[in-house]
Structure 1
Amino acid sequence: MHTPFKPDDESNEQLEKAIWQDTALIQALQKADSQQKLNEPTAITPRKKSPLLVWGSAVAASLIMAFIGLTHLSDPATPQASTLVAAQQFFATKASDITLSDGTEVALNTQTDLQFNENDKTRQATLSKGEAYFSVKRDEQRPFTINTGNATISVLGTAFNIDKTLRETTIDVFHGKVAVNTANNAKQVELVKGQRARVSDNNIVVTTFKATQPDWQLGWLDLENVTINDAIFQLNRYTDKPLVLNNVDAQLRVSGRFKTADVVGAATLIAQLNQLKINSFDDSVVLSPIE
């Protein structure tokens, strides 16, 4: 009868050394792992994790960062070259709290898409969709910038909220100072605590506010003379059954304070104020003109 080969401890040790001394294999594994981590988005859904899973995630992240750091230290490139330290991508289906690789804390609203890259000279984030509250870790050697498409926000260390809607970006400053530029750099303003900037069509309008916390974190949506399309767009962040406009005048304006936990109630009120009717279906809620 054939006896299966079972390597002893010494054989296992020799095999392990041979594998980890294979430079080509190590480089291939590191390259593949790093590329996968850089390219794959992280879907954020709040849930409880076991201590083992949390520890395992932390260890995996530490190993990746350590490898990148070693690459940077041994890189023979010129001192002026910037080396990628970390790249992260988050998509929040529910309100979630995250910490970026530089230590910046971010509260993501529902349906928010955020990317973050940092190197030894800069920290750059892209808010392509949704709303987020940033508490930026101060680093005077590396400014922190956020791009929303129609606006660029630059800070060193501060706390502020950014809301990107269909045609507008709104920035509320809760602490520190923030510089805001239009997409074409035609206009720039500096905001301090209690100031709000609305950026659209390469223009910036500055007003003031008194809140000490973003309204969305308190369960409210404040709308101030926005188009009905924008109002529906923002309300749809908070529901699995989307609101739909059918043959509604796009020039209608909406103002008011609405509970995000009652999207249908908010839609009903908007319909009443604008002489619209509302019909609920299995997959949507439709607002249309009264015939």
Structure 2
Amino acid sequence: MNSQPISSDVYQQAGEWLERLDNGPLDKLSKRRFINWVDAHPTHKQAFESMLATWSSAALERALIDAQQNITLKERIRYTPPVRWWQAAVLCTAVIVGVITWQFSSPQPTLIIHQYATDNGEVRSVTLEDSSVLTLGAASDVYVRLSDNHRLVNLKQGAAYFDVTSNKQRPFEVKVGSASVVAVGTEFNIDRGQYFTDVVVHEGAVEVTGGPDESPLLLKAGEQVRITGRTLGDIRPFDIRRTLDWRSGWLELDNASLHYLVERLNRQSAKAIRVDAPALNDLRVAGRFRLNEPQQALSLLAEAYGLSVNETPEYYTISRHP
């Protein structure tokens, strides 16, 4: 079969897959996406193999082999390896992967894939290709995949505010672990913590689901819900005009746990903040704390609740007074 012209977009997508595979084996969903992408058009396989020929990586080879697990091969192509042994091993794997067909639905052409992350104390605003605006809070990490009929964001950690461009043919979905938040055109905030995730809708409405087999919940502007694992809490109202979130630089709490406060201050602090006794994490606190000045917030916390804050070159430690 003669080679077909390959667009620059396809080469970019092939390079992104190579980088992801070079970071180690893919998870189950990523394997499906990779196989769907390879199978979507002959030029995808051509671009992937041509770039793979100059990419020497044992980790990449292992990831490609892993991607074949539990997938049915339709056929195997006869292959003559090049002179260098590492190219032979890796390219043979690529040829096999190129003829794999995933056994589920037909693939969706990928438009663009990105990963965005922020450091401690950093806030970043990104305009996506569909004109939606994603604002990342400090110490946050997201993976974005836009296809012709679906917009998907995986919030791996931290907080993000979404200003979604309306498009009924391309739902906008945010995955947070097993839970998902689906919108068409709206503005909402998601804050993912260690033990639960808070979803707050500022404009429009979103559909929140705790897991693939759970019943969805409709959340409208001026409402919020807390997700714990696969469990959705009760819908609670909030005043959009008065409620402060991380974008303001302030954190306003009413009967929240000390763990909740410390987790969010740690996203801003250059030094790690830790609590010396597990039971102290459950202490209930309230007040307004300036996020970008964690040392000042800790001083106010200590004064209001009779705590001690000890500082070393590496971290702050919160403890009860002796």
TM-score for the superposition, normalised by structure 2: 0.66
Asked if residue 220 in structure 1 is aligned to residue 246 in structure 2, the reply is: no
1:237 is aligned, of 263, 267, 283, to: 267
CA distance in 2, matches of 1:35, 1:198: 38
Partner SS state of residue 34, structure 1: helix
Asked if residue 89 in structure 1 is aligned to residue 68 in structure 2, the reply is: no
CA distance in 2, matches of 1:28, 1:133: 33
Q: Pick closer, same or farther for the CA change 1:189–1:39 going to 2, 3 Å.
A: farther
Unaligned runs of 5+ in 2: 21-36, 45-100
Structure with greater Cα Rg: 1
In the alignment, which residue of structure 1 is the partner of 2:169? 141
CA distance in 2, matches of 1:208, 1:270: 27
Partner SS state of residue 35, structure 1: helix
Q: Is the 8 A contact 2:134 2:162 kept in 1?
A: yes
Unaligned runs of 5+ in 1: 1-21, 42-67
Q: Is the 8 A contact 2:10 2:43 kept in 1?
A: no
Which structure has greater strand proportion? 1
Q: Is the 8 A contact 1:150 1:169 kept in 2?
A: no
In the alignment, which residue of structure 2 is the partner of 1:111? 139
Q: Is the 8 A contact 2:6 2:43 kept in 1?
A: no
The one-character-per-residue Cα deviations of 1:130-161 (angstroms, maximum 9, x if unpaired) are: 11111111111111110111521011111111
Partner SS state of residue 102, structure 1: coil
1:198 is aligned, of 226, 237, 247, to: 226
Q: Is the 8 A contact 1:248 1:289 kept in 2?
A: no
Note the aligned Cα RMSD (angstroms): 3.1
In the alignment, which residue of structure 2 is the partner of 1:98? 126
The one-character-per-residue Cα deviations of 1:189-242 (angstroms, maximum 9, x if unpaired) are: 211111111111413221111234852221111233332222111111111112
Q: Return the offset for 1:254.
A: 2.2
Alignment of 1:171-182 (within 5 A): 171-182=199-210
Q: Pick closer, same or farther for the CA change 1:153–1:220 going to 2, 3 Å.
A: same
The one-character-per-residue Cα deviations of 1:108-144 (angstroms, maximum 9, x if unpaired) are: 1111101111222211111111111111111111111
CA distance in 1, matches of 2:273, 2:18: 33
CA distance in 2, matches of 1:277, 1:222: 22
Q: Pick closer, same or farther for the CA change 1:257–1:38 going to 2, 3 Å.
A: farther
Partner SS state of residue 198, structure 2: strand
Number of equivalent positions: 239
Q: Return the offset for 1:248.
A: 4.5
Bigger mean CA offset, 253-262 vs 87-96? 253-262
CA distance in 1, matches of 2:304, 2:278: 13
Q: Pick closer, same or farther for the CA change 1:119–1:225 going to 2, 3 Å.
A: same
Q: Pick closer, same or farther for the CA change 1:40–1:253 going to 2, 3 Å.
A: farther
TM-score for the superposition, normalised by structure 1: 0.72
